[in-house]
Chain A
Amino acid sequence: MRRVIPIAAAVVMSCAAFPALAPAQQTDRLTVPVSYHRLDNGLRVVLSEDHSAPTATVAVYYNIGFRIEPRDRTGFAHLFEHMMFQGSRNLGKNQFIELVQSNGGVLNGSTRFDHTNYFQIVPAHTLETMLWAEADRMKGLAITQENLTNQQGVVTNEVKVNVLNQPYGGFPWLDLPQHANENWHNAHNFYGDLQDLEAATLEDVQRFFEQYYAPNNAVLVVVGDFAPEQTMTWIRQYFGSIPAVELAPKPDISEPRQTAEKQAVKPDPLANRPALALGYHMPPRDTPEYFAMALIDQILAQGRDSRLYQVLVQERAMTSGVSAGANIGLGNMFNINGPTLYTISLLHDQDKPPARIVAAIDSVITDLQNRPVDQATLDLALVKMRSLWYSMVESGFGRADLLAAFALFDDDPAKINQIEDELRRVTPELIMQTAREYLRATNRTVLRVENRPAS
């Protein structure tokens, strides 16, 4: 699936016109309303009211990502995501999509390292219809071989249009994890080898559904203009009878500490300029160092004021821009629950050798490792991060995504209101320590794209 119309329902700081939002303790702090419930079958439910526009976002997140898909079925978690649109008990093929669109809504689904999500953004008065439809496909699928064959064709075309037929296809978001990681769960081709996609059977689909698509392995989030009691009544009515299943223990997805730099080259016959990406293993989720990385990212790479932009673009004319971030191309540092990379990438010309570009990057990183940043730099990083954070929580989907991740991975959606505090706790000393351990050259993989035929 694709095609999302990004929209922004609003979050308020303190504004009496929107009483559902709690007044913030400080005037420049956002507080997102969060109400958290658990049904008897284990389904976790997060409600977040926002009455500033007559819209609602319904999102169901399942605790199954491509990291733990079957070893002989690479790409299966994503192929399965497509099957969730192919028919359920009471909705035949195309009918789920028609139901959402003919009610004035947009929909999508996506598969990520640690979750698969499904969401609708709809006019608020159609909320009950959407809850019924999401419950219907959580109860059971009705998939035929014809549907499966059709979606194998669609997904194969998805891989072609995004990877095989494109210059820089899969760079760096699909390529870099495969080189940087050691554990198969983190290092396999999660878009799928075409043979594996073709080998998938209806039995695989059924088994996967039974194993992972259960209420006790899911979170339901509703954000927007709704009445909470009525909404909880509907949720109990439609989801309450779906039985829980026994969940398999989670496999070991850990990565060993990296101690030597890795180098890799991707031959790309379609690319006509070289490209370069550096991937550093991120600190463990939720540690002080993890939040420090968010501010390091702002200092290093976000905006034209950032140090890498100033050095690589303005001063040395090595590229026209630098892309960087954690979990790049697939999300952000909050909606992932296992090993991930902080990635810096850029396109360049032949006359700028990669070694010189890496040396320029290193000069910026070395400074961060050896000299504590001044308060002005830290304040600037915080302002930028705060603005980014508002942008993330203001849209119905952005907020639903964060609430779902915090419920699914931490059993604590109210964590959404603690992130600003975590960021404010970061000190110049912590930034220096974090840069020393996590932006070590020996903690990174350097991937180069070269224009030549694949061997």
Chain B
Amino acid sequence: MRTVIFRATALVALLCPAAAPILAQETPPAPGTPRNVELPQPHTFSLENGMDVSLVPFGAVPKVDAQLVVRAGNIDEAADQVWLADLMADLMREGTTSRSSQQISLEAARMGGGVGIGVSPDELTVSGSALAEFASDLVRLIGDLGMNPAFPESELPRLKANRIRSVAVSKSQPRSLAVEKFQGVLYPDHPYGRVFPTEEMISGYTIDQIRSFYDQHIGAARAHLFVVGRFDAQEMENVIRQTFAGWRPGTAAALNVPRPPATTRRIHVVDRPGAVQSSMYIGLPVIDPSHPDYIALAVTNTLLGGAFASRITRNIREDKGYTYSPGSTVSTRYRSGYWAEIADVTTAVTGPSLKEIFHEIDRLRSEPPPAEELKGIQNYMAGTFTLSASSRGGVLGMLRQRNLHGLPEDYHAGYVRRVHAVTPADVQRIAQTYLDPQKMVIVIVGDRAVIAEQIAPYGEIVE
């Protein structure tokens, strides 16, 4: 049996009192005593070239996940380089100086897993999973993919065609069109605002541009390797030191924090004639996870629109039946974030949906929520945190969140306590401070001819 050695100094007690009282003939039996949740603590170390490492021997299933996260992504692209980072990642997967693409695939498959390379606005991730017995081999393979790309030019036309097709398909999907417009308005003249490239851009990218992007942005100084699952930590540390010691440090991450524009309440329509639904993004720039108010904002968001039992969802879905899958979110990047309510509503009730959404936002700003309602939301967030803390993916997500946003090591250990500390007055203050309806950008992808009159009362239609 393997001992789990770096496990858990932090104990999180879940404070979950009885659920809200139910007025009915028979009441639900009260829950028992909450059990402690152990948050696994990572074993961390750094290499001389600047790469950070976090190891979390975790769980009982004989599997392991590893992710090499490099602080480089779409944020490093110039205005005429949209998705150059994605194309570079695609080409990195097509072979290293010692392995062909097919060899990589075969080796990963023999480990009962797979490897992939993906790009987000802030990060490039070489990720993989495998059966536990292959943990060391998995990390070596991930290292090779990250450090030694061959960049075979012969594969470039095929990868470009795939990306061009992918953009074309995205631009036929209403939600993709909505997010493109929404982020374009929120982040003008910043990479976060450039969601999709043109076909011409992709066609024009050269192998030299890709190599240069790699040389400029990918290296140990920007990298953090995470390994979570069943493995021997000492052996893993040795393997990592051997594998990555020779990686060049490269450059430090260039921090390009967007300056959010002073948004005003305006409606941007993306016309989609004949659409049976209107796909909406309604929101504005807000704070990021490093801000002291962030957890209170997360609680406020969950109560307003971020859970099934939230106010907007109960209103426009469970009361009005206008939509199936509404939801609000706080979407964060490094030192940047936005709040948005996202919903696809039947075309004929586009105006009434806006009315109800703004009604709920106004109501939360004008009066604090009842303590019972807030308590239910806090219990929900504490519970889902527990569920998340008991999976490899959830643990990885927490480590990555702390890494990207530079959060203190005890951030997640104190999360449940801080969620429960939020008061009804805090929620009202947060809604008043951060969710000003007069600053909300409204994007609607829908049938302009049908909805124009309905939506006119809710803001100036600027396009």
Contacts and interface: CB of A to CB of B under 8 A. Distances in A.
A450 B392 CA distance: 41
Contacts of B110: 380, 383
Interface in A182-208: none
Nearest to B100: A314
A101 B376 contact: yes
Interface string B135-172: 00000000000000000000001100110011011011
Query: Which of A101, A104, A225 has the largest number of chain B CB atoms within 10 A?
Result: A104
A13 B59 CA distance: 11
Interface in B52-77: 59-63
Contacts of B173: 166-167
A94 B171 CA distance: 36
A90 B29 CA distance: 12
B382 A104 contact: yes
Contacts of B19: 98-99, 102-103, 129
Nearest to B36: A54
Interface in B175-216: none
Nearest to A395: B391
Contacts, number: 283
Contact of B346 (A95, A157, A380): A157
A384 B109 contact: yes
B59 A8 contact: yes
Interface stretch (A15-23, A282-290, A336-344): A15-23
B321 interface: yes
A126 B16 contact: yes
Contact of B1 (A16, A28, A152): A16
Interface string A25-48: 000101000000000000000000
B309 interface: yes
B281 to A, nearest CB: 15
Interface in B355-408: 375-377, 379-380, 382-384, 386-394
A7 interface: yes
B262 interface: no
Interface stretch (B242-250, B263-271, B322-330, B451-459): B322-330
Contacts of B36: 54
A18 B60 CA distance: 9
Nearest to A270: B172
Given A122-B383, A386-B131, A305 B322 contact: no
Query: Which of B130, B318, B320 has the largest number of chain A CB atoms within 10 A?
Result: B318
B112 A386 contact: yes
A12 B1 CA distance: 11
Given A101-B376, A124-B35, A390-B63, A273 B165 contact: yes
Interface residues of B, number: 95
Query: Which of A7, A89, A122, A349 has the largest number of chain B CB atoms within 10 A?
Result: A7
Contact of B28 (A94, A132, A317, A383): A132
Contact of A383 (B20, B112, B166, B320): B112
Contacts of A272: 168-169, 171-172
A273 B168 contact: yes
Interface string B1-35: 11010000000001010011011111111111111
Contact of A391 (B30, B63, B171, B380): B63
B26 A90 contact: yes
A140 B35 CA distance: 33
B448 interface: no
B382 A158 contact: no
Given A2-B325, A11-B60, A128 B32 contact: yes
B390 to A, nearest CB: 3
A106 B345 CA distance: 24
Contacts of B16: 103-104, 123, 125-126
15 contacts: A7-B390, A52-B390, A53-B386, A53-B390, A103-B16, A104-B382, A126-B31, A129-B19, A150-B318, A160-B346, A165-B174, A271-B172, A303-B105, A305-B102, A347-B165
Interface of B: 1-2, 4, 14, 16, 19-20, 22-37, 59-63, 101-102, 104-106, 108-114, 129-131, 133, 157-158, 161-162, 165-166, 168-169, 171-174, 274-277, 279, 307-309, 314, 317-325, 327, 344-346, 375-377, 379-380, 382-384, 386-394
Interface of A: 1-3, 5-18, 21, 28, 30, 52-55, 89-95, 97-99, 101-107, 121-129, 132-133, 136, 149-158, 160-162, 164-168, 225, 269-273, 303-305, 309-310, 314, 317, 319-320, 347-349, 380, 383-384, 386-387, 390-391, 394-395
